Amino acid sequence: MSHALSLTQLRKSYGTQSVLDGVSFDVPKGAIVGLLGPNGAGKSTLIRSIMGIVAPDEGVIQLDGEPWSRERVRGIGYLPEERGLYKDMRVGDQAVYFSRLKGMGKSEAVRELRSWFEKLEVEGWWDKKVSDISKGMAQKIQFICTVVHKPGLLILDEPLSGFDPINARLIIQQVRALAADGTSILLSTHDMPSVERLCDNVVLINQGQVVLSGAADDLRESGWAGEQDVVFKGNDIAFTNALGTLAHLDSIGPDTVEGTRRAHLRLRETTPPGQLLQALSEAIEVLEFVKVRPTMESLFIQAVNASETPAT
């Protein structure tokens, strides 16, 4: 199966400074891929290379299984991190202009834009000048201009920056809907909760290299360090005794429901969760036994730290 986007050994240097150092990953069709990385990791250069704004020194970019071309790039919906609008133009005229640059006819653009303006609740702003609208409103217009031509591949660089939580949720809903309709999405962001909520796959780059990649669930699963939450009814001493040497107790205290207790444990490497559950069930009444997988944020920090630690 061809991918919406496929990068192979992408390299780019500015003078002696290497910004991209052999980056390879794919964006499967219909998937939302989170592109993560600390500031200066090379995310923007990577995106600008895909968009043809900078020319990579080496490597192959394929779009829809075909070699990169300017014409194919025009089909991509691109929302750059540093984005803006013409202040002296009317909102509607400006959206039509951007749509036409993406190859849409004028009447088609107006029709599609009107529908999107309604979806994002900005229909009353069509005739306003950009200088008269709020920053959040302008962000919505930019989002609409990015998606109006129904791109097969969307590249969103920090799409939620500048949005209040209500509007951020509205945008997330639309991103999900687009993905559900088959749009492939590369989402570059520092907002880890949105990565957890949205992304099927994650690519983490640092210092121009991919340091972690894969399905988000798999990564969290493989990053599991034996952490477990247990909610129970019973005696703390009986609970501790039942743990024995199977797990290390991090904390214990009352849970939200009266008479219940919550403990946070870390299993020993050799202890299967089932064995611990059996041991605990014999001593106390176990109400919940939940595997605590690492957050994307902790995986991110771990991976970045690991990639920056010199090998011994």
Question: Could you list the residues that contact other proteins (CB under 8 A)?
Answer: 14-15, 45, 48, 51-55, 70-71, 73-74, 76, 78, 80, 82-89, 93, 97-98, 100-103, 142, 145
Of 111 and 291, CB closest to other proteins: 111
Of 76 and 202, CB closest to other proteins: 76
Of 130 and 247, CB closest to other proteins: 130
Of 140 and 220, CB closest to other proteins: 140
Q: How far is CA 229 from the centre of its chain?
A: 26
Q: How far is the CB of 203 from other proteins (least distance, A)?
A: 21
Of 15 and 274, CB closest to other proteins: 15
Q: How far is the CB of 100 from other proteins (least distance, A)?
A: 5
d(CA 105, CA 176): 27
Q: How far is the CB of 16 from other proteins (least distance, A)?
A: 12
Q: How far is the CB of 130 from other proteins (least distance, A)?
A: 9
Q: How far is the CB of 101 from other proteins (least distance, A)?
A: 4
Of 138 and 286, CB closest to other proteins: 138
Q: Around Cβ 222, how many Cβ atoms within 10 Å?
A: 13
Of 90 and 264, CB closest to other proteins: 90
Q: How far is the CB of 39 from other proteins (least distance, A)?
A: 14
CB 170 within 8 A of CB 116: no
Q: How far is the CB of 294 from other proteins (least distance, A)?
A: 34
Residues 6 or more apart in contact with residue 283 via CB below 8 angstroms: 234, 238, 239, 241, 242
Beta-bridge partner residues of 157: 188
Of 67 and 253, CB closest to other proteins: 67
Q: How far is the CB of 242 from other proteins (least distance, A)?
A: 59
